Structure 1
Amino acid sequence: MRHFYIKQKVFSLKGKFTVKDQEENDVYYVEGSFMRIPKTYSIMNTRQEEVALITKKTFSFLPKFYVEVNGRDILTIKKEFSFLKARYTIDAAGIDVQGNWWDMEFEVYQHGELVAQVSKEWFTWGDSYKVQVINEEMETIIIALVVAIDCVKADQAAASSSASF
């Protein structure tokens, strides 16, 4: 089992942050595109090789995010039509997310077997998450999933704040 910590920089325009292990070593680097369409987030390993890519679909009635890991489409997060509260679904073959993923308190299962647990770290400056990867073969997929969910949340927050003006 490996533990990772994702802490976003609060005032970063490009959406740059790192994923650290339990010894506080940088393991992954995340960098968002700035002023580019489509909006993307690239996840790189310590050798600066891209291992995952998150892309927001540009022209869509409802927001949709695609996650690729090692060049393969792994999952899609899409907003469902709803009048009262924003609802999203995660489509991934064999992967099931259970719990409150909007509040970053959830478990990830693959074919019914627990492969990861995610929890929000409280009382921190900026968003911080603790990710426990039980099945280490799923490490990159889990990190990409957590970053993608955080991207969806940030996109929703930006849409809500611009709609209130």
Structure 2
Amino acid sequence: MGTYYIKQRVFSFKDSFSVFDADQRELYRVKSKLFSLQDRLTITNLDDQPLVEIKQQLSFWKPRYIIEENGEQVAEVIKNFTFFKANFSLKPHNWSLDGDVWSHQYTLTDENGPLMHVTKKWFSWGDTYEMQIEDESHLLTYIAVMIVMDMVLHNNNNTFSMDGGSGE
């Protein structure tokens, strides 16, 4: 089991994050594309080599994002309609991300049980998530899922909506 932290960079024009291990060593960076109508982010190594792409898909009712590694789609993240709860479906893995928007605690599961536990840290400078990962074989996908969840639920650009966006 591994512990990782995703920390939002506060002073940037668009979404920007750093990913750290339990010893606070930076492992990855997440940068958004400027001047894009839809959310598009890239997870890179410390040499700015792209590893994962996150692309928002146009959708009328439910936010949808595609996660790609090496140009291949590895997951589609869909925000399900809920009141005051976080609920995302991930295809084709049959994973589910559930949690409480108010307490900022989330769990990613599959049919066998938990894959990852996440807590959004209170009173931190910018959004900070602590990720407890059971199996690190999908680490980059898990990081991408958390970035999507942050954009959908906690982005300052959101307004309160019935799909669970809290507009914090």
What's the TM-score once normalised by structure 2's chain length? 0.78
Query: How many Å apart are 1:144 and its aligned residue?
Result: 0.8
- The residue number in structure 2 matching 1:38 is 38
Matched, 1:65 2:64: yes
CA deviation profile, 1:18-51 (whole Å, cap 9, x unmatched): 1111111111110011221332011112343322
**Aligned-CA RMSD value:** 2.6
How far 1:77 sits from its partner (Å)? 2.1
1:76 is matched by which residue type in structure 2? V
- Distance, in Å, in 2 between the alignment partners of 1:53 and 1:65 is 14
Provide closer, same or farther for how the CA distance between residues 87 and 117 of structure 1 changes in structure 2, counting only shifts above 3 A.
closer
Q: 110-119 vs 92-101, which deviates more? A: 92-101
Moved over 4 A (4+): 84-88
Is 1:23 the counterpart of 2:23? The answer is yes
Matched, 1:121 2:121: yes
| Distance in structure 1 (CA, Å) of the matches to 2:99 and 2:157 | 24
Normalized per residue, the structure richer in helix is 1
1:30-86 Cα offsets, whole Å, 9 max, x none, are 00112213320111123433222222224x323523131412241222363x8x769
2:9/2:126 contact within 8 Å kept: yes
Task: Write out aligned runs for 1:1-165 (5 A).
Answer: 1-58=1-58, 60-70=59-69, 71-78=72-79, 80=81, 89-92=88-91, 93-100=93-100, 103-155=103-155, 157-160=156-159
Aligned with 2:159: secondary structure? Answer: helix
Report if the CA contact (8 A) 2:99-2:105 is conserved. Answer: yes
Stretches of structure 1 that go unaligned for 5 or more consecutive residues are none
Is 101-110 or 3-12 further displaced after alignment?
A: 101-110
Where does the alignment leave 5 or more consecutive residues of structure 2 unmatched?
161-168
Q: Deviations over 1:85-128 (max 9, x none)?
A: 69764243321223326753112123323221101111211111
**Which whole-Å CA distance do the structure 1 matches of 2:135 and 2:97 have between them?**
15
TM-score by length of 1: 0.79
Number of aligned residue pairs: give it.
157
Q: Does the aligned pair in 1 maintain the 2:53–2:67 contact within 8 Å?
A: yes
Q: Percent identity?
A: 24
